Amino acid sequence: MTSLDTDDPAWEPTTGGPHLSALLDQVEAWIAADVDEDDKAELRALLDRATADDGAKYPAAVLELRDRFNGTLQFGTAGLRGTMAAGPNRMNRAVVVGAAAGLGAYLADALGADATPRVVVGYDARYRSADFARDTAAVLTAAGAEVLLLPAALPTPVLAFAVRRLGADAGVMVTASHNPARDNGYKVYLGGRVVTDSGQGAQIVPPYDALIAERIAAVGPAAAVPRAESGWRVLGREIVDDYLATVRALSDGAPRRLRIVTTSLHGVGGRVLARALAEAGFTDVLPVEEQLDPDPRFPTVAFPNPEERGAIDMAIALASEARADLVIANDPDADRCAVAVYDPTVGTYQGAETARSHGWRMLHGDEVGALLGVDAVTRHKAPLGGDGRQRTLASSVVSSRVLARIAKAHGFGHATTLTGFKWIARTPNLVFGYEEALGYCVDPENVRDKDGISAAVVVAQLADRLKAEGRTLVDALDDVARAHGLHLTDQLSARFSDLERIGETMARLRAHPPRTLAGAGVSRIQDLSAGVDGLPPTDGVLLEAGDGTRVIVRPSGTEPKVKCYLEVVVPVARDATSYDVGKARVAAHARLDKVKADMRRALGL
């Protein structure tokens, strides 16, 4: 695929791009090699504006072209993700064709000339997702692969399940998960005969990403890449039935008393989650109708990410009105699961009367992770599996340390991994893994990835069992605090339009880290780029104070953000009353607020 060479003498140093004539040549070459008529027309219109009066009449068009041709959209461990538009630095059919051709070349190298790679391809309901999936199927089929296409726009966990269930050597999921509507993406999984260890069926990690990226870079113009007209197989709905059967197997079969409100945030999880809950015995389920069906515009939310403020307000408003017990929200590709509960201790009854003012709140990902961790050791009972190996819980380095304490208390192993399920899912003997960004793997035998559908079912039945005892998930969190100390976590993040500021922010922190966190002296500073505690190097900084307060700062892997992951730990007596635990939470929240203020100053936010 075409890329710009910044050492070329035609490069214009004052504008960060080539001279206009060189840029126009690049654009013309891309148009000639593009495979989509609409994309060609889009670039041609930009080109016409950019050349009016030698670029003086429409300078914005020149700048837009420079950005679109400022290199190529980079393929890495997250695959591809970016804004949908024409040009090499955007998500479009030409870029996808090149990515599919590169993946096909990598599989041919990895398996040998006599092998036929098997690849499963899935897609969500975003704009162009189905087109990108069909292009992938066409390119891989022409390259000699056996391609199995999912039958409809479906959740990412169904694709991850299909890779393992069908013994596929690779899987491709076209999705941008919880990104804004203008974005799309391309996740790659490896399994079958390519990856045969504990990472079989998980998303790619190094060196696979670099090996595939090398093949992509060697692909010629998109129009010259062979594409089959047919030959791939569209799977039947049985693959969804098989996936749901594994989710149903997680059910404890108890009678249900719970009333649940659900939302799919205009994504593809709504109908699949409804079936999963119904087959687990939950019949009193109320979806947010306005957000139930897929809609690539995501019209009722600013960002289709349940972590973002306001994203699940419609769901908790319905829950308050309907006197529900639980809210479950999936992100648009349903690999994440958010949980909201009624917690009378946080009700204010001040100002505007809302579900939040009455006490409805979303649980933090670490809170749900702790609850599911306790549930996992309870479900699996013994810390050793039938093969005599120690069962293991895993969490990412930016997640709460409480899961390690839970595992140790029950004799289970624990692994700390780099951020992302591509790492968590590779943990040997894994029985449960999570990361604080609302990702949970409760059934790694079948899905080596985060799965918002199966996690929802397990959370729902945990809440149901507690309701039968006259208790709630909030009471269960108090139990965790009594047993392992109160671990309270939060996040501070900054979104940047200028990506250079991300590097500058990280450099400022490395040069001038804070000396105290909420008044406690910082006793440990570690640069994660050097590798820490056996973890591979990653861009991040860890700060730890003498009282156990911890902060990890890192750039987001999927958004233009710098994120700070904050955790404070407050001791709680094993016989503490609910009132005592509540007081500990108030103290922990106050300390977190001070840590946030310290980090804002340190990062110059």
Q: Please choose, from the candidates 292, 302, 312, the residue with its C-alpha nearest in 3D space to the C-alpha of residue 354.
A: 312
**301, 185 Cβ separation under 8 angstroms:** no
Three-state DSSP string of 439-495:
EEECCCCCCCCCCHHHHHHHHHHHHHHHHHCCCCHHHHHHHHHHHHCEEEEEEEEEE
Residue 177 known to be catalytic: yes
Q: Please state, in angstroms and rounded to a whole number, the distance separating the CA atoms of residues 379 and 195.
A: 29
- Which residues make beta-bridge pairs with 395? 416, 434
Residues 6+ apart with CB under 8 A from 53: none
Q: Please state, in angstroms and rounded to a whole number, the distance separating the CA atoms of residues 453 and 186.
A: 21
CA 248, chain centre distance (Å): 24
Three-state DSSP string of 367-434:
HHHHHHHHHHHHHHCCCECCCCCECEEEEECCCCCHHHHHHHHCCCEEEEECCCHHHHCCCCCEEEEE
- Which residues make beta-bridge pairs with 262? 287, 328
Q: Is 562 helix (H, G, I), strand (E, B) or coil?
A: strand
Amino acid identity of residue 407, one-letter, is A
Residues 6+ apart with CB under 8 A from 496: 502, 505, 560, 561, 562
Secondary structure letter of residue 150 according to DSSP = -
Q: Residue 568, class by beta-carbon neighbours within 10 Å (0-12 exposed, 13-18 middle, 19+ buried)? A: buried
Catalytic residue among 3, 21, 129, 177: 177
Residue given tokens 């917690």 in the structure block: 343
Q: Please state, in angstroms and rounded to a whole number, the distance separating the CA atoms of residues 588 and 165.
A: 44
Q: Please choose, from the candidates 412, 414, 406, the residue with its C-alpha nearest in 3D space to the C-alpha of residue 482.
A: 406
**What is the per-residue burial (b if ≥16 Cβ within 10 Å, else e) of 136-146?**
bbbbbbbbebb
Q: Is 204 helix (H, G, I), strand (E, B) or coil?
A: coil
Amino acid identity of residue 384, one-letter, is L
Residues 6+ apart with CB under 8 A from 371: 459, 462, 473, 476, 477, 480
**562, 568 Cβ separation under 8 angstroms:** no
Neighbours of 518 (CB within 10 A): 18
Query: What residues are labeled active site?
Result: 177
